[in-house]
Chain A
Amino acid sequence: MTRRIWALPTGKVAFAILALVAVLAVFGPLLAPHDPLAGSTTTLAGPSGGHWLGTDYLGRDVLSRLLDGSRTSIVGSLEVALVALFAGAVPGIASVYLGRVFEWSVLRLTDTLISLPFLVFAVAVTALLGNGITQAMFVVGVLVSPLFFRVSRAATLAVARSQYVEAALISGASFGQIVRRHVWAKVLPAIGVALAQTIGIGFVVVSSLTFLGVGVQPPAPTWGGLLASDLGYLDYQPWAPAVPALLIMGTVSGCNLLADALRDVQTVREVKSVTDPRTVLDQAEPPRGGLA
C-alpha cells in the first residue's frame, strides 16, 4: 500500500509534507535554537542571524516558538482523529450485527452529533471543564465520529451481504471472527481515507481554537495562537502571520493529499478487481482459509 501511494505524485507530496510535520512534532522542541518562553528587550524584531524569524511582542524567538508549538497542534489533531475513529468506526461496524435496537439507537445518536457545531461545542466544554486542549479535542473527536460511523457502516453493510460472509455465519462463525477475518480488511481502506481527512479537520479545529485562545494556557505556543498574536502587530511585522499560516495550510494540504492518494490507490484496486477475471472468480468462491 505504501509503495502504491508513493508511486502517485500526490502521495509523494503528502509523504514529504507529513514527514516534515512528524519530525517537527517529535523533535521540534529539541530543534528550537532559543528558549521559546524567554523574553528579551528586543521586541518585534525582523529576521536576523540570531533570530531567523525575528522576535515577538515580548522579545521571544519566533522560530523557537513555532518549533515548540508544533507538538501541541499536531498531537491535538491526532487526538481528534483517534477519538473519532474509535467512537465512530466501532459502533459503525457493530450497528450492522447487533440488532435493530442498537442500530436504531446509534443512528439517532449519529444524527444528533452531526447537528452539533463542534467548534462552538468545544469552546463550551472548555468553559465547563477548564481550558485544556485534551478535553476540547476529545469532544471534537466525538462530534466528528459520524464520518467514521458512516464510512465503516457502509463498508460493513456491503461485506455483510456477500455470500462468503453468509456462509461463514451459517457455519457458526462468531461476530468477532467475521469482523476480524472479513469485514476489517474491506473497511480499512475507507477508514484510512477518512482518517487522513480527519487529521486535517482536527488540525483546522486545533488551530481555530488556539487562534481564539481556547485550549492552551499562555505562554505555551501553538501555531494558531501565534497566528492570532501576530495579527495584532501587522504594522510592525506584516510578514509574520504568513509563517504559522503556511505551516497550518501545508499540514492540512498534506493530510488532504494523503487522503486523495489513498482513495486513488483504493479505486485502482477496485477497478482492477472488477476487470480481472481471476479476481471475479476468486470473489465467487468462499475465501481460502475461511470459516467454512
Chain B
Amino acid sequence: MTLDSSPGLGRRSFLGGLLAVPALGAVLAACGDGGSSAAAGAATLKWASSFFPTHWDPVVGGSGAQFRHLSLVYASVTRVNEKGEAVPDLAESWDYNDKGDQVTFHLREGLTFSDGTPVNADAVKKAVERAKTQEDSALFGDLTSIDKVTADGDLDVVVDLTQVDYQIPLLFGERVLQVASPQAAADPKALDQKPVGHGPFVITQLIPGTKAVLEKNPDYWDAANIHIDKVELVSAPDASTVVSGLQTGVYNFADVAAAQAQAAEKAGLDVFVQPGYNASNLSLNVNKKPFDDPKVVEAVRYGIDRQEFVDKLTFGYGTVATQPFPKEYIAYDPQSADLWPHDVAKAKAALAESKYSGDDLTIDLVIPAEDPAAEVVQSQLAAIGITVNIKIDKNWATPFFAKDLVASLYGTTGRDSPLQTLTAHFGPNGPLNLSTPYEPDGFEKAVAKVRQTPLEDGDYEANLQAATRAGLVSEALVFTYSQPSVYAKDPSISGLPANPGHINWTGVKIS
C-alpha cells in the first residue's frame, strides 16, 4: 500500500469483510450440491433427497428411510398397498400351512435381474440367508422368526418358521426383503457400489453419497405402469435451497422441511404429506441413573408437552404421538391415547417422591446432529427440575445401538409389519429399545398372540392393539410427535400412490 492511499479505507480489507459472510453463507449452503442436473428428458424425475442412500446393498441399508430410494432398483417379495396390506410384488401369491409355521411364496415366472440372472426361488433364498448372516447386515434382527428357506422348484420359496408367525408377508416387503441379484451379491462390497435388482429402474451412474442416475427397466414385471424414463436422484443441499432448486427446475421432486412447505406452496409447487408411520420419541435407559427409578421416568412422562413439538417443529403438518402408530392405523390403541398427559405438577410430585429427590438431577441427551426437538425436551424437563445437557456426537449410532446412552432422541419411519415396529421398540433386544434387555411385563405374551393370529382373522385388530398397549407400559420410551413426510413436486408430476411410508412410482406420469 502506498502512502497516498493509506489515509483512506483499505479497499481490500473492507471488501474482505464485506464479502466474508455472504461468501461463507453461499459456500456452506451449497455444500453437498451435486451440481446442475444433466439434460432432462420428457419424463425425467429429478429427485433431491435429504436421505440419499449411504449404502445401496439393501442388507446393509436396513429398514430406515433409505429403502424408498433403493426400491427404485430392487423389487421385493411383497409390497404394501394404500391400506398398508401386503400385496404381490416378485411373489404373485403366498399361502401358509395349517399350523402357521410355514409359508410358501410363489414367484412370478420369467423374470430376470438387470444383469440377466433369473429371479427365482434360489435368489430369494440367498437374499434371506444373506440378510440373516452377512456380517454388516442391518436386517438380521428382523428375521428371528425365519428358521430356514428352501427352494421348491424354480418359483416356490418355502419359508420354515421358528414359531407361528402370520406377519411374514408384511415382513418380506420393501423394508426387509428387497432382492438383489445373487450373482452381484456374491461380492457385497461391489453390490454396494453397483446395485443390481429387478426394480422399475436400472442404475446407470452412481456417485456415492451424491448422485445416482437410473433408467427405466423394460424387463420390470410391472413396466407397463412405469411412465418415468429416467431418474436423477441427488443428495439435497441445504434445506433452505431446495425450494429454489424446485422453482428453477434443477429438481422436480424433493422432500422438504416443514418450515419450507409454505415457501414451496407460494412458489406454485404441489406440497403434500405422504402418509406414514413416523413417530419420534425420547429414549430413556432404565438401566442407568436416574431412570433406574420409575418415579423419575414418571416425572418425564408427565413433563413432556407433545403439543409444543407439533406447534414449533411441524408448522401444522405434524401430529402428537403417544405411540408408534398414527391414529388411523390398525395397531393404534385408543385406550392408550392419553396415558401421560402433560402435567407439570404431577411431574414435580413424582420427582419429589423419587430416590433422587433433592439431588441436582442432570442428564446427557446425546443426539447425532442439531435437532430443535432436543431443545424443546431440554426446556420442558428444565421446567420440572431436570437439567438436560445436549451433546452432539457424530458417532452417535455406536453408543446408541450399544445401549450405552442415558437418554437420546429417535425418530422412526415405522415398519410395514406392525409387530416388527412393536418388537423394535419394546422387545428385549429391539434396536430402538435403549434399555435392553428390559421388556415390559406381558409384552412377549401379547406379541406371541399377534404372531399366531392370521391377518384376516377377526381378532387380529384387537390382539394387535393389546400388544401395543402392553408395549406402551415400557418405561424406556416417551413418544412425542409425528414428524410429517412433506414433499414438494412440480405440478407436471401426477399424484403419487398414498402407500403409507412408501414412495411408489407406479402409475406416476410426468407431463
Give A contacts to B, CB under 8 Å. Answer: 8-10, 13, 37-39, 41, 43, 57-59, 127, 131, 200, 204, 207-208, 211-213, 217-219, 227-228, 231-236, 241, 245-246, 248-257, 259-260, 263-264, 267-268, 271
What are 14 A-B interface contacts by the 8 Å CB criterion? A10-B9, A57-B259, A58-B375, A211-B24, A212-B28, A217-B389, A231-B25, A231-B240, A246-B21, A248-B20, A255-B17, A257-B9, A264-B1, A268-B6
Contact with B20, one of A127, A231, A249 (Cβ below 8 angstroms): A249
Query: Does the CB pair A232–B240 fall under 8 Å?
Result: yes
In contact, B21 and A248 (Cβ under 8 angstroms): yes
Cβ contacts under 8 Å, B99 to chain A: none
Determine the distance from Cα of A8 to Cα of B17 in the docked complex, in whole angstroms.
19
Distance to closest chain A CB from B306 (angstroms): 15
Residues of chain B lying within 8 A (CB to CB) of residue A268: 3, 6
A241 and B391 alpha carbons, distance in the complex (Å): 25
B10 is contacted by which of A217, A249, A251, A257 (Cβ under 8 Å)?
A257
Give the one of B259, B260, B262, B266 with max A CB within 10 A. Answer: B259
Q: In the bound complex, how far is the Cα of B235 from the Cα of A10, in angstroms?
A: 45
Per the 8 Å Cβ criterion, residues 339-381 of B in contact with A are: 369-370, 372, 374-376, 378-379
Q: Is the CB of B13 within 8 A of A253?
A: yes
Interface of B, secondary structure class, is helix
Q: Is the CB of B391 within 8 A of A13?
A: no
B240: chain A residues within 8 A (beta carbon)? 231-232, 234
In the complex formed, the residue of B with least CB distance to A258 is: B13
Q: Which stretch, B67-75, B392-400, B497-505, touches the partner chain A? A: B392-400
In the complex, the answer to whether B1 meets A218 with C-beta atoms within 8 Å is no
Neighbour of B24 across the interface among A204, A235, A260, CB < 8 A:
A204
Contact B28 A208 (CB under 8 A): yes
Instruction: Please give the distance in Å from A244's CB to the nearest CB on chain B.
Output: 8
Chain B positions within 8 Å of A10 at CB level: 6-10, 13
Partner of A250, one of B17, B24, B238, B376: B17
Name the A residues within 8 Å of B392 (CB-CB).
131, 213, 217-218
Cα distance A267–B7 in the bound complex, in angstroms: 12
Q: Assuming A58-B376, A219-B390, A252-B17, is B29 touching A231 (CB within 8 A)? A: yes
Q: Which of B20-42 contact A (CB under 8 A)?
A: 20-22, 24-25, 28-29
- From B6, B238, B369, contact of A264 by CB (8 A): B6
Establish whether residues A267 and B16, one from each chain, have CB atoms under 8 Å apart when the complex forms: no
Contact B378 A219 (CB under 8 A): yes
Tell me whether A263 and B1 are in contact in the complex, defined as CB-CB below 8 angstroms, given that A236-B262, A256-B10 are known contacts. yes
CB distance from A149 to the nearest CB of B (A): 22
Q: Is the CB of A43 within 8 A of B369?
A: no
**B387-421 interface mask toward A, CB cutoff 8 Å, 1 = contact, 0 = none?**
00111111100000000000000000000000000
Contact B20 A59 (CB under 8 A): no
Complex Cα spacing A164 to B13, Å: 36
Partner of B9, one of A9, A228, A231, A263: A9
- Distance of A127 Cα from B21 Cα, bound (Å): 25
Q: How many residues on B have C-beta within 8 angstroms of the other chain's C-beta atoms?
A: 46
| B369 (CB) vs chain A CBs: closest residue | A213
Residues of the A chain whose Cβ atoms lie less than 8 Å from the Cβ of B372: 57-58
Chain B residue nearest in CB terms to A259: B13
- Report the nearest A residue to B379, measured CB to CB: A39
A183 CB → nearest B CB, Å: 25
Q: How far is the CA of A234 from the CA of B9 in the complex (A)?
A: 33
A58 to B26, CA, bound (A): 25
What is the minimal beta-carbon distance from B101 to any residue of chain A, in angstroms?
47
B263 at interface (Cβ–Cβ under 8 A)?
Answer: yes
**How far is A125 from B249 in the complex, measured between Cα atoms in Å?**
38
Please name the residue on chain A nearest to B239 by beta carbon.
A232
Contacts of A227 in B (CB 8 A): 21, 25
Q: Which of A217, A236, A254, A263 contacts B259 (CB 8 A)?
A: A236
Q: Which residues of A contact B375 (CB under 8 A)?
A: 39, 58, 218-219
Instruction: Give the distance in Å from the alpha carbon of A256 to the alpha carbon of B17 in the complex.
Output: 7
Residues of chain A with a CB closer than 8 A to B7's CB: 8-10, 264
In the complex, chain B residues whose CB is within 8 Å of the CB of A208: 24, 28
Query: Does B391 contact A131, Cβ atoms closer than 8 Å?
Result: yes
Contact A200 B16, beta carbon cutoff 8 Å: yes
- For B262, give the chain A residue with the smallest CB separation: A235
CB distance from A275 to the nearest CB of B (A): 11
In the complex, the answer to whether B1 meets A257 with C-beta atoms within 8 Å is no
The reply to whether the CB of B77 lies closer than 8 angstroms to some CB of chain A is no
Specify the chain B residue showing the minimal Cβ separation from A233: B259
CB-based contact A213/B370 at 8 Å: yes
The answer to whether B370 touches A260 (Cβ under 8 A) is no
Name the residue of chain B whose CB is nearest to the CB of A14: B13
**Contact A257/B24 with A9-B8, A58-B312, A131-B392 known, Cβ cut-off 8 Å:** no
Complex Cα distance A9/B389, Å? 47
Min Cβ gap A252→B in Å is 4
Quick check: B6 and A235 within 8 Å, CB to CB?
no
* CB pair A8 B370 closer than 8 Å: no
Give, as a whole number of angstroms, the nearest-CB distance from A90 to chain B.
27
A265 nearest CB neighbor, chain B only? B6
Complex formed: what's the CA distance from A38 to B21 in Å? 28
Q: A235-B263, A248-B20, A252-B16 are in contact. List 16 more A-B contacts (CB 8 A).
A: A58-B376, A131-B392, A208-B24, A211-B28, A219-B378, A227-B25, A231-B238, A232-B259, A232-B260, A234-B240, A236-B259, A248-B24, A253-B14, A256-B17, A259-B13, A271-B3
**Nearest Cβ on chain B to A68's Cβ, whole angstroms:** 14
Considering the chains assembled together, what is the distance between the CA atoms of A253 and B6 in angstroms? 16
Flag if B6 contacts A267 (CB, 8 Å). yes
The 3 closest A-B pairs by CB, nearest first: A253-B17, A256-B13, A260-B10
CA distance A9 to B5 in the complex (A): 11
B17 adjacent to A249 (CB under 8 Å): yes
Determine if B311 is an interface residue (Cβ-Cβ < 8 Å): yes
Residues A218 and B374 in contact, CB atoms below 8 Å apart:
yes
Q: How far does the alpha carbon of A64 sit from the alpha carbon of B163 in the complex, in Å? A: 60
Given contacts A218-B392, A249-B21, contact A235 B374 (CB under 8 A): no
Q: Once the chains bind, are A8 and B263 in contact (CB under 8 Å)?
A: no
A211 — which chain B residues lie within 8 A by C-beta? 24-25, 28
